[in-house]
Amino acid sequence: MTSGIDATADGALEDIAYLSRSGNRVRILDTLVTGAHTRRELMAATDVSRTTLGRILNELDERGWAERTADGDYVATPTGQLVAAEFTPLVESMRTVRELGEAAAVLPIDELSIGLRQFSDGTVRRPEPNDPMAPAAFLTDLLRGTSELHCLVRLAPPLAFERRMWDAVADGPLRTEHVVTEGELAYLRDHPERLRRWRTYLEAGANVYRYDGTILCNLFVFDETVDIGKTHPDGGGCVFIETEREAVRSWAHELIETYRTEAEPVDAEVFTEGPSMPWAEASDEYRGCIHQTVPVSTYALQCSIPPARGLAG
């Protein structure tokens, strides 16, 4: 198998290297994209010296990315505008990866239809050394005042989160929509207290949908706030990326809707004590993975299912 970038791309890589080696080049090109500027205006806008500015303008002109107008001003060419339009998001995405660090792994790349740069303002919430429940506790507090909760998840919620969610729906102010896996429903049915709570939760108006397949991320939308979570590498709770950016929120709603349209509505009767549902029979490995290695209280903190050796592995 060959790489996606072959020898014929050497010229393109050299162009990328040319810009990436100098912040001054990027700033000057970005400024030229906004319209025609005199040299004095460019110096003021980019804070570069006259000598440096002259050299870079000549280089941009040679590459066909900038030109001088009849009035003696400088402006980006159509090609230069395209270069800036593609390069600037790349820089922003790389900056986002650096800022998020290992938390970038939380993002479901296979499901991501927006650029990484959309998470540049994201807040990373990690388990604290003496409080692995900190992110889960934060999400529970976030339910206060929330009017709508939409989520796409593969595991059962922490008990404190579940109780507050149930109370808010029962009292009327909270509207919820859950798209969950068959494994989560099977797990909830295996625990009588949770089974009864979820039955009354649906009877109070909650909307739950069963997805017959794999859900690749744990996604929550609390009104304007989006949280994406995944198990911390050391197994001690969840790492979340949180943002209120509109582009991320739109993506989250679209992704949840995509899964919801392929899911089946869950009736309150599913949470009635009795024989297992037909679809729950396929969840033995899921339940075994949980009960073999992890107490229920610990499981409630986890946000993804690792290999069958156990959630703590």
pLDDT of 156-214, one tens digit each?
Answer: 888 899 999 999 998 888 999 999 999 889 999 888 889 999 999 999 999 999 999 98
Of 61-65, 99-103, 274-278, the one with minimum mean pLDDT is 274-278
pLDDT of residue 5: 55
Tell whether 311 is covered by a domain.
no
Positive or negative, the CA dihedral 152, 158, 164, 170 is positive
Residues 61 and 141 in one domain: no
Mean pLDDT for 207-225 is 93
Q: Residue 227: beta bridge partners?
A: 220, 242
CATH of the domain at 61: 1.10.10.10
- Nearest Cα to Cα of residue 255 among 153, 186, 163, 167: 153
Tell whether 309 is covered by a domain.
no
- How many residues in total does the chain contain? 313
Residues 247 and 288 in one domain: yes
Tell whether 22 is covered by a domain.
yes
Mean pLDDT for 99-126 is 87
Mean pLDDT for 122-140 is 83
Tell whether 242 is covered by a domain.
yes
| Beta strand segments in the chain, E | 66-68, 74-76, 123-125, 148-153, 175-181, 207-211, 218-222, 225-231, 238-243, 264-265
Strands 148-153 and 123-125: unpaired
pLDDT of residue 96: 87
Q: Provide CB contacts within 8 A for 201, sequence distance 6+.
A: 165, 166, 169, 170
Phi and psi of 66, rounded to 5°? -145, 160
Q: Provide CB contacts within 8 A for 24, sequence distance 6+.
A: 46, 48, 52, 56
| Rounded-to-integer distance, Cα 221 and Cα 236, Å | 23
Residues 186 and 208 in one domain: yes
pLDDT of residue 82: 94
Listed in sequence order, the DSSP H helices in 106-220 are 134-142, 159-171, 182-189, 192-203
At 4, is the pLDDT very low, low, confident or very high (cuts 50, 70, 90)?
Answer: low
pLDDT of residue 89: 85
Give the residue carrying structure tokens 């610990």. Answer: 298
| Rounded-to-integer distance, Cα 299 and Cα 291, Å | 9
Contacts 24+ apart (CB under 8 A), 255-258: 255/111, 255/113, 255/152, 255/219, 256/150, 256/151, 256/152, 256/177, 256/179, 256/219, 256/221
Tell whether 134 is covered by a domain.
yes
Mean pLDDT for 94-106 is 86
Residues 53 and 189 in one domain: no
Residues 220 and 281 in one domain: yes
Give how many domains the chain has, as a whole number: 2
Mean pLDDT of the chain: 82
pLDDT of residue 173: 84
Which residue range(s) make up the domain with 41?
Answer: 7-96
Q: What DSSP letter does each residue of 64-81 carry, written as one string?
A: TSEEE-TTS-EEE-HHHH
Residues 67 and 153 in one domain: no
Tell me the pLDDT tens digit for each residue of 70-84.
999 999 999 999 999
66's tokens: 């900038």
Instruction: With a cut of 60, say whether residue 1 has pLDDT above it.
Output: no
| Rounded-to-integer distance, Cα 176 and Cα 5, Å | 45
Residues 116 and 217 in one domain: yes
Of 11-15, 218-222, 228-232, the one with minimum mean pLDDT is 228-232
Of 96, 125, 147, the position where a domain reaches its end is 96
Q: Provide CB contacts within 8 A for 51, sequence distance 6+.
A: none
Mean pLDDT for 26-51 is 95
pLDDT of residue 92: 86
pLDDT of residue 277: 56
Of 28, 61, 96, the position where a domain reaches its end is 96
**Does residue 247 or residue 235 have the better pLDDT?**
247
Per cent of the chain over pLDDT 70 is 82
Tell whether 101 is covered by a domain.
no
pLDDT of residue 293: 29
| Rounded-to-integer distance, Cα 67 and Cα 77, Å | 6
Greatest alpha-carbon span in the chain: 83
CA 38 to chain centroid, in Å, comes to: 42
Residues 126 and 272 in one domain: yes
Tell me the pLDDT tens digit for each residue of 247-304.
999 999 999 999 999 999 999 999 987 655 554 543 433 332 222 223 333 333 333 3
